[in-house]
Amino acid sequence: MNEEWDLSKMKSRPNPYAKRLKKQVTLRMDTDVISYFKTMAEETGIPYQSLINLYLRDCVASQRKLHMAWKA
């Protein structure tokens, strides 16, 4: 390491962005859902996992609820 880069005297501090870090989870999704987001990812240039996160974030922001009706 270059001598002018002596980091041994540097004080540590907490990460100010730690609250905004993402948490890794495992989800089981249908292949057609993944294909849909991967196709959108190719069109937009945004990674498909980021697109899924953006869509879910929009659902949270707009308080969108899923309306399901089970067939009798």
**48 found inside a domain:** yes
What average pLDDT does range 12-41 have in this prediction? 91
Residue 20 covered by a domain: no
Note whether residue 44 is domain-resident: yes
Total tally of structural domains belonging to the chain: 1
How does residue 5 score in pLDDT terms, banded at 50, 70 and 90?
Answer: confident
Q: Please indicate, yes or no, if residue 54 is contained in any of the structural domains.
A: yes
Inter-CA distances, 10 with 4, 5, 48, 68, Å? 13, 10, 38, 56
Determine the structural domain holding residue 55 and report its residue range: 28-62
Distance CA 69, CA 54 (A): 26
State how far the Cα of 47 lies from the Cα of 55, in Å rounded to an integer.
13
Residue 37 domain flag: yes
Place of tokens 């292949």: 31
Q: Determine, yes or no, domain membership for 55.
A: yes
- The pTM of this model reads 0.66
